[in-house]
Amino acid sequence: MKMQHNKAWFMVLPMLLVVAVSAIIPLMTVVNYSVQDSFGNNEFFWVGTEWFQEILASERFHNALQRTLLFSGLILVIEIPLGISIALAMPRRGIAVSFCLVLMALPLLIPWNVVGTIWQVFGRVDIGLLGRGLSSLGIDYNYTQDVFDAWVTLIVMDVWHWTSLVVLLCYSGLVSIPEVYYQAARIDGASRWSVFRFIQLPKIKRVLLIAVLLRFMDSFMIYTEPFVVTGGGPGNATTFLSIDLVQMAVGQFDLGPAAAMSLIYFLVILLLSWVFYTVMTSLDNDSNSAGRGR
Amino acid sequence: MLTLENISRRVDSQDYLVDISLEFQRGELNILLGPTLSGKTSLMRVMAGLDRPDSGRILFDGESVLGEPVQQRDLAMVYQQFINYPSLTVYENIASPLRVAGLAEAAIKSRVAQAADLLKLTAYLDRKPGNLSGGQQQRVALARALVKRASLVLLDEPLANLDYKLREELRAELPTLFAELGAVLVYATTEPSEALVLGGKTACLSEGRVEQFGPTLTLYRDPNTLMTAKLFSDPPLNTAAVKGMNELQRFIGSSDTGTLAVRAHHLRLASEIPTASTFEIRGRVDVIEITGSETFVHLQFMGQPWVAQLDGMHTFRPGAEIALEFELDDCLLFDDNGVRVRKPSGGRI
């Protein structure tokens, strides 16, 4: 018996090593920095939770957090309904299917910084197609100077880049619904809306949960595209948490506060993802406990 | 009364339905029997108005319903898959066709309660279909069809996905449930035994054609064609070419062509002293299956695989030669076109 126990540990060991090297050790380095102050020469002083308190109290952090939350909220509000609508409108059979799928997948295949560069050039007032086009229409558009224009540009860019992901996930859920469901709905005389509300939506709920989680996490961590397009400006208008963090860690070389901030950032993402997951799965499971509401 | 006149349907140069003419009465159970791809579901889709036939007419109580869209037809359908609205409770599922029809809340409540009572769902009205067993889910689908009080009820292999206990239970209840509606009831199945238990009338389908239509028992006892006899046999019908079986030829008359067919349960072990009314065959045993009360002997006879369903337990070595016999009155004879050759005396089961 004793021997077998030890053997089991050997089996788990490779996985433990992988997890340790890939996740635990790097994370612990960050934790290490977050509780110490350093002055070059590899000199460290223990400061406890001071950095955490400083970050949590700082207005700079609050503003960046609010911007990031607003950005993620807008992204979800736009991309999820839009993605579902496009998925519903996509063809179910024929050559058009492969055509649409490839078309949808294209933006997903472009690297983040390239997407940023494309839109940075596209929106420029002097040479960009979009920027020139808008100004020749008499619309005053300049994402480098106007806060609203900067936000619109970033959101349109993210919608262009990532709505496809929602579309593809929803589409996979929709095509897995057996044809008989639609047939039964037709016989029942159900309206287009009822078919969506009572057949399609419940059936794609699970993939939709994944889509919401992925889009939330990705948009909450967005860095490359705003960095390339606006660089966090105008002013601090598009300085999201990630950009702020890099400025603090690399620009100012404040390793301690930056480490504390990344841990807080990580916990915020973890917490919000957990909330999303719990809310959406409980919507799924309320069936047993629901009382008779009549 | 539902009348189908010369219904044909081709999809991608493949015949789905070929010149089908049938007449289904109200209050009667009509069975479509045939293997998969024989056209049962295609025919039901045409009857429902989901597909348009390429030619032919469909009359309901004498009036053509061909142009009518599905939504406006007075129709209910139950499928092999358990189709319910996943996010609605059982109560709301059953009520859904009534809500579409715009009934008052009180009427909905009483009708749902009645249907739930008949299908033993009263205890589960607050649950969602996903939390029910397969049998209960199908009961919900049946209740939805029942509550609608449609004049055409189509049941497309409704029991195929249930285990046999539940299947037997529901099968016993089904005919009575819908009989009171006075609806035209059409039931598709692949299983001959299910058709026999349900009774009513049966249309045998094969490759999109109606082989024979009539009272279920008549079709079983007295098939007009070899195909009908084959469709209505489980275990498979035993067949052999008549040619070379002198004694049988004498029995049939002058013809020396055609096919002899014997059902598995008509075969028994040959008795010591042969009688004039029996015919003996000899075959080589392939496999035996013992269910307990019965033994299925798979054997080779004249190059054909035959099955004999014998009472009690028997053991034979594979490869052994055994002698079996059947009553001449029990066998069926068909000419080279598969059309029944009737004996003057008339057969019994």
CA distance B306 to A276: 63
Q: Is there a contact between A189 and B97 if contact means CB atoms under 8 Å apart? A: yes
Within 8 A of A198 by CB-CB distance, chain B residues are 85-88, 96
Indicate the length of chain A as a whole number.
294
B348: pLDDT strictly greater than 70: no
Nearest C-alpha neighbor of A34 from the set A18, A49, A53: A49
- Strands B304-311 and B184-189, bridge-based pairing: unpaired
Continuous segment of H or E residues that includes residue A282: helix A255-285
Among B76, B79, B128, whose Cβ lies nearest the Cβ of A180? B79
Cβ within 8 Å of residue A137, ≥6 positions away: none
Using one digit for the tens of pLDDT, what is the confidence trace for A127-151?
Answer: 888 888 888 888 888 888 888 888 9
Mutation site for B-interface testing, chosen from A187, A193, A196, A287 by largest number of B Cβ within 10 Å: A187
Structure tokens at B149: 């009080």
Q: What angle do CA B131, B136, B142 make, to 5 degrees?
A: 125
Mutation site for A-interface testing, chosen from B44, B51, B71 by largest number of A Cβ within 10 Å: B71
Q: Is there a contact between A287 and B85 if contact means CB atoms under 8 Å apart? A: no
Interface check B95 vs A, CB under 8 A: no
pLDDT for res B246:
64
Within 8 A of A178 by CB-CB distance, chain B residues are 81, 83
Neighbours of B327 (CB within 10 A): 15
Among B70, B96, B131, whose Cβ lies nearest the Cβ of A287? B131
CA distance B314 to B316: 7
Q: What angle do CA A276, A280, A285 make, to 5 degrees?
A: 145
Interface check B77 vs A, CB under 8 A: yes
Q: Is there a contact between A202 and B87 if contact means CB atoms under 8 Å apart? A: yes
Phi, psi of B248, rounded to the nearest 5 degrees: -65, -40
Separation in Å, CA of B146 to nearest CA in chain A? 12
User: Could you tell me the pLDDT band of residue A72, with boundaries at 50, 70 and 90?
Assistant: very high
pLDDT for res A2:
55
Mutual orientation of helices B105-118 and B90-101 as an angle, nearest 10°?
Answer: 130
User: Could you tell me the pLDDT band of residue B275, with boundaries at 50, 70 and 90?
Assistant: confident
DSSP-assigned beta bridge partners for residue B2: B24, B60
Separation in Å, CA of B287 to nearest CA in chain A? 40
Is residue B187 within 8 Å of residue B205, measured between CB atoms? no
pLDDT for res A130:
86
Separation in Å, CA of B50 to nearest CA in chain A? 8
Distance from the first to the final alpha carbon of chain B: 32
B345: pLDDT strictly greater than 90: no
The Cβ-side half-sphere exposure at A58, using a 13 Å CA radius, reads 18
User: Could you tell me the pLDDT band of residue A155, with boundaries at 50, 70 and 90?
Assistant: very high
Interface check B14 vs A, CB under 8 A: no
Q: Respond yes or no on whether the N-terminal peptide bond of residue B235 is cis (omega within 30° of 0).
A: yes
Using one digit for the tens of pLDDT, what is the confidence trace for A115-131?
Answer: 888 888 888 888 888 88
Mean pLDDT on B245-258: 63
Distance from the first to the final alpha carbon of chain A: 59
Separation in Å, CA of A189 to nearest CA in chain B? 5
pLDDT for res B253:
57
Phi, psi of A46, rounded to the nearest 5 degrees: -70, 125
String of b and e for A214-232 (b: at least 16 CB within 10 Å)? ebbebbbebbbbbbbbbeb
pLDDT for res A290:
39
Using one digit for the tens of pLDDT, what is the confidence trace for A254-293?
Answer: 788 888 888 898 899 889 889 988 887 777 665 443 333 3
Using one digit for the tens of pLDDT, what is the confidence trace for B134-167?
Answer: 888 998 999 998 898 888 999 999 888 888 888 8
Using one digit for the tens of pLDDT, what is the confidence trace for B193-221?
Answer: 888 888 889 999 988 889 899 999 888 88
Mean pLDDT on B3-12: 89
User: Could you tell me the pLDDT band of residue B130, with boundaries at 50, 70 and 90?
Assistant: confident
Separation in Å, CA of A293 to nearest CA in chain B? 9
User: Could you tell me the pLDDT band of residue A294, with boundaries at 50, 70 and 90?
Assistant: very low
Mean pLDDT on B333-339: 83
Amino acid at A208: L
pLDDT for res B346:
46
B48: pLDDT strictly greater than 60: yes
pLDDT for res B31:
92
pLDDT for res A39:
73
Q: What is chain B's alpha carbon radius of gyration, rounded to the nearest angstrom? A: 24
Is residue B40 within 8 Å of residue B194, measured between CB atoms? no
Interface check B89 vs A, CB under 8 A: yes
A5: pLDDT strictly greater than 80: no
According to DSSP, residue B9 is labeled E
Helix, strand, coil abundance in chain B, percent, nearest 5: 30, 35, 35
Among A183, A190, A201, whose Cβ lies nearest the Cβ of B50? A183
Continuous segment of H or E residues that includes residue B198: helix B192-198
Mean pLDDT on B258-283: 84
Interface check A282 vs B, CB under 8 A: no
Is residue A199 within 8 Å of residue B85, measured between CB atoms? yes
User: Could you tell me the pLDDT band of residue A3, with boundaries at 50, 70 and 90?
Assistant: low
Percent of chain B residues past pLDDT 70, beyond the cut: 94
A79: pLDDT strictly greater than 90: yes
B15: pLDDT strictly greater than 80: yes
Phi, psi of B23, rounded to the nearest 5 degrees: -135, 120
3-state secondary structure of B290: strand
**Which domains occur in chain A, in start order?**
61-178+204-292 (1.10.3720.10)
Using one digit for the tens of pLDDT, what is the confidence trace for A190-238?
Answer: 888 888 988 899 888 888 988 998 999 889 988 888 888 888 778 888 8
DSSP-assigned beta bridge partners for residue B306: B299
User: Could you tell me the pLDDT band of residue A87, with boundaries at 50, 70 and 90?
Assistant: very high
pLDDT for res A38:
77
A1: pLDDT strictly greater than 60: no
Within 8 A of A288 by CB-CB distance, chain B residues are 127-128, 131
User: Could you tell me the pLDDT band of residue A18, with boundaries at 50, 70 and 90?
Assistant: very high
Q: Is there a contact between B71 and A181 if contact means CB atoms under 8 Å apart? A: no
User: Could you tell me the pLDDT band of residue A83, with boundaries at 50, 70 and 90?
Assistant: very high
More confident residue, A159 or B315: A159
According to DSSP, residue A248 is labeled I
Is residue B51 within 8 Å of residue B42, measured between CB atoms? yes
Mutation site for A-interface testing, chosen from B79, B112, B126, B148 by largest number of A Cβ within 10 Å: B126
User: Could you tell me the pLDDT band of residue B249, with boundaries at 50, 70 and 90?
Assistant: low
Mean pLDDT on A93-113: 89
Interface check B128 vs A, CB under 8 A: yes
Mutual orientation of helices B134-147 and B164-179 as an angle, nearest 10°?
Answer: 10
CA distances from A64 to A31, A113, A234, A262, B63 (A): 22, 21, 14, 13, 71
A82: pLDDT strictly greater than 60: yes
pLDDT for res A287:
43
Mean predicted lDDT score pLDDT of chain A: 85
Between A32-36, A195-199, B20-24, the lowest mean confidence (pLDDT) is in A32-36
Mean pLDDT on B48-65: 88
* ipTM greater than cut 0.85: no
B254: pLDDT strictly greater than 60: no
Q: What is chain A's alpha carbon radius of gyration, rounded to the nearest angstrom? A: 24
Q: Please state the pTM of the whole predicted model.
A: 0.74
Percent of chain B residues past pLDDT 90, beyond the cut: 17
Is residue B285 within 8 Å of residue B298, measured between CB atoms? yes
- A283: nearest CA partner in chain B: B87
Mean pLDDT on B342-346: 57
Q: Is there a contact between B77 and A183 if contact means CB atoms under 8 Å apart? A: yes
Q: Is there a contact between A290 and B89 if contact means CB atoms under 8 Å apart? A: yes
Within 8 A of A187 by CB-CB distance, chain B residues are 48, 50, 70-71, 73, 75-77
CA distance A263 to B68: 65
A86: pLDDT strictly greater than 90: yes
CA distance A9 to A2: 11
Nearest C-alpha neighbor of B147 from the set B185, B108, B184: B108
CA distances from B166 to B33, B82, B163, B224, B304 (A): 21, 14, 6, 34, 36
pLDDT for res B252:
56
Within 8 A of A193 by CB-CB distance, chain B residues are none
In chain A, the DSSP E strands lie at 36-38, 44-46
- B132: nearest CA partner in chain A: A288
pLDDT for res B163:
80
Dihedral of the CA atoms A255, A260, A266, A272 (nearest 10)? Answer: -150
In the block, which residue shows the tokens 């939805």?
A: B144
Within 8 A of A93 by CB-CB distance, chain B residues are none
Continuous segment of H or E residues that includes residue A193: helix A192-195
Mean pLDDT on B110-117: 90
B336: pLDDT strictly greater than 90: no
Nearest C-alpha neighbor of B8 from the set B46, B51, B53: B53
Structure tokens at A41: 């020469």
pLDDT for res A289:
38
CA distance B162 to B145: 18
In the block, which residue shows the tokens 């047993």?
A: A288
Is residue B181 within 8 Å of residue B157, measured between CB atoms? no
